Amino acid sequence: MDNSINRRGLLRMAGMSALGVAAAPLITACGGGSGGATGSVSNAGKQLVPWPAYVPFAGPKPDAPGDETGVQPLYLKYPETLTQSVNDTVGDGSKVTALVVTFGPPPAPVAQNRFWQEINKALNVDLQVTVVPDPEYGQKMTTLMASGSDLPDIIMFTNLALPHSLEFIQAQCADLSEFVGGDAVKEYPNLANIPTYAWKGMGRINGKLYGVPLERPTPANSLFVNRTAMDEAGIPKDWTTEQYLEAMRELTGDRKWGLGWYKTLFGGLGSITYHAGSLGAPNTWTATGGQFVHTISTPQFEQAVDTMRKLVEAKTVYPDSLTVSSTDMQSHFHNGTVASIQDGFGSVAPATLSKIDGRFELDLGRPYGPQATPWRSAGLFGYVTFKKAAPERIKLLLRICNYLSAPFGTKEYELANYGVEGVHFTKDDRGIKPTDLFDTENNSSLPVKYLGAAPSVLYLPGYPDTAQAVYDWQKASLPKSVANPGQGLRSATQVSKGAQLDQIIGDGIAAIAFGRKPLSAWKDVVTQWRQTGGDRMAEELAKEHAAAQ
């Protein structure tokens, strides 16, 4: 397979971003615009396409069932018999280009990559993937959208607020309403198996559906804890605020720390999620009586900021938490330097467990406050969109998505997640056992898991005890959890200023937590946020919320 698109695309983007930085004093206009009205992204007063029908897949029987609060079905063992969910040919042998984010190293070329070859064979396409490393994702996407031409067939968006992304999608990407809206989605049974909360989390644009969500379970950014260290210090699983602060002090000392943050958490609400949820602050917004009020103006939230300040003051936080990268902080957690970190729930995964390598028992921390409101996630990691094309082509791309979204317990899931039996994994009585080749050939380095994702289940091959602990944690904390009422709703201010507004919150939390400003300065942060666009965003969301009722 020739990589020319890949290379050219990357070169172009690299060139443009280099130019961007070099020419920062005179930001340059690149690419002539495609014209076309941006229109509004709002759904208020628009005709709304119905959400795709939900037809759940009758999968293998779990060891413990999931429930409607977001508790995932638990599988301690891998199912013995697998079903086949895709019977028709997916592709037509043509070339399909895709742009996705990656958290892993780049994949080996297809000629030396059995995993890639098998995916191509199963999909019957020549899949060419341009991977964008996570830290550069925002900037690369901004430049891609600015260039506006030579777009790949599949463009994947994460939940990161990218300026003007919704307008870009409306102008350049295919309207999927007629293909997946309402009962039409039944053409693609694996897409019909995606729960409605994921579609709602993605939201409509201007009343229409433009993407397919990559489902994620409802727990948001969670507290990962070193249970072994906690047990040694006699720290209980359920704790009060005082007990929590005391526990962090217990775990600190001798060049070890109770917890570690990392710099990307300070781009918005990330670093405070666990504390805000523990202390009962609403999840991002409250929508009562048609009014939208942001969580940062609640006393509970201010208390959470204060808790973070106390943690730093007591020297229980890793001292360089504002500068350390997420990967470095994860390593500090894996090797026991810090006893807890906040991380996305998606890190409850075999990769994390293999890095911990049995040094300690992994668990998740329960919320500490008496009236906890743990925050639910957006219900999705991101979504995929398709470049505008003829209906036949769009159907082909949807079939690719459908294949890669096949649920746990199917042959398609096995290929997309574990690779080829005997090559990338073997099966024994403990379940799936990855081979050494899986370290380099997997769906992280060739991120097909971001082109289509199955609704997640709780199955950790080789670690049934951890899976059980996580299940118990979900049972204990999710019933109290709350969703963000603003999720999936559109606000023009959020589109144009969301990143800037997030930055104000993140900078404010960091300044107070690390003692550069007193707690009394929090109200100034709130005022600044409201004046920069927060108030306008609240009004827009309220209008949108009313229309969606």
Partner 1 sequence: MTRVRRGAGGTSPPTEKTQDPPAGGGPRTGRLQRIRADRVLLLLAVPGLLYFLVFHYGALSGNVLAFQDYIPFLGVSGSEWVGLSHFERMFGDPAFWNAVKNTLIIAALQLVFFFPAPLALALLLHSIVGDTLRRFVQSVVYLPHFLSWVIVIALFQQMLGGAGVVNGWLSDLGAGQISIIGNPDAYGPLVVAQLIWKECGWATIIFLAALSQVDEQQYEAAALDGAGWGRRLWHVTLPAIRPVIVLLLVLRLGEFLSIGFEQFFLQRQSVGPETGEVLETFVYFTGFAGGDFGYAAAVGLFKGVIGVVLIYTANKVAHRLGEQGVYKA
Site map 171..190 versus partner 1, x via CB under 8 A = xx------------------
Phi-psi region of 404 (alpha: psi -120 to 50; beta: other; left: phi over 0): alpha
Contacts of 320 (CB under 8 A, 6+ apart): none
Distance of CA 366 to the CA centre of its chain: 21
Residue 521 engages partner 1 in binding (rule: CB under 8 A): no
Identify the residue among 1, 5, 19, 53 touching partner 1 (CB under 8 A): 19
Asked if 317 and 261 touch (Cβ cutoff 8 Å), the reply is yes
Among the candidate windows 91-99, 135-143, 237-245, 484-492, which touches partner 1 by CB under 8 A?
A: 135-143
- By CB under 8 A, name the one of 117, 139, 228, 241 that touches partner 1: 139
Token duo for residue 76: 């301690």
Position among 11, 14, 27, 546 found at the interface with partner 1 (CB under 8 A): 27
Which residues on adjacent β-strands are paired with residue 427? 432
Using the contact rule CB under 8 A, the part of the chain among 91-99, 160-168, 175-183, 473-481 near partner 1 is 160-168
84 with 411: CB under 8 angstroms? yes
- Choose which of 25, 234, 358, 422 interacts with partner 1 (CB under 8 A): 25
CA dist 440 and 162 (Å) reads 31
- Does the footprint of partner 1 cover residue 288 (CB under 8 A)? no
Instruction: Return the residue of 319, 370, 391, 479 that touches partner 1, per CB under 8 A.
Output: 319
Classify residue 518 by burial, with Cβ atoms within 10 Å: 0-12, 13-18, 19+.
exposed
When the beta carbons of 85 and 340 are compared against partner 1, the nearer one is 340
Instruction: Tell me if 164 contacts partner 1 by CB under 8 A.
Output: yes
Q: What is the CA radius of gyration of the chain?
A: 23
Report if residue 63 touches partner 1, rule: CB under 8 A: no
Using rule CB under 8 A, residue 234 touches partner 1: no
Comparison of 398 and 512: residue with beta carbon closer to partner 1: 512
Q: Which of 11, 14, 22, 546 binds partner 1 (CB under 8 A)?
A: 22
Which residue number, 26 or 111, has a Cβ lying nearer to partner 1? 26
Cα separation values, 523 from 263, 393, 498, 526, 542, Å: 23, 52, 20, 5, 23
CA-to-CA distance for 222 and 333, rounded, in angstroms?
14
Element (H, E) at 505: helix 492-513
**Among 116, 179, 244, 266, interactor with partner 1 by CB under 8 A:** 266
Q: How far is the CB of 49 from partner 1 (least distance, A)?
A: 24
List, as one string, the DSSP characters of 75-116: -SS--SS-B----S----S-EEEEEEEESSPPPPPGGG-HHH
Q: Is 516 a residue that touches partner 1 (CB under 8 A)?
A: yes
Question: Residue 423, interface with partner 1 (CB under 8 A)?
Answer: no
Count of residues interacting with partner 1 (CB under 8 A): 51
Q: Closest distance between partner 1 and the C-beta of residue 19, in Å?
A: 7
Amino acid at the residue 407: P
Query: Please, what is the minimum distance in Å from the beta carbon of residue 137 to partner 1?
Result: 12
Structure-token match 């994860």, residue found: 330
DSSP-based three-state secondary structure for 421? strand
Determine, following the binding rule CB under 8 A, whether residue 134 of this chain makes contact with partner 1: no
Decide the pairing of beta strands 380-386 and 425-428. Answer: unpaired
Closer CB to partner 1, 233 or 521, in the complex? 521
- In terms of CB distance, is 291 or 335 closer to partner 1? 335
Q: Give residues in contact with partner 1 (CB under 8 A).
A: 19-36, 38, 138-139, 142, 145-146, 148, 162-164, 167-168, 171-172, 255, 257, 263, 266, 318-320, 322-323, 496-497, 499-500, 503, 507, 510-511, 514, 516
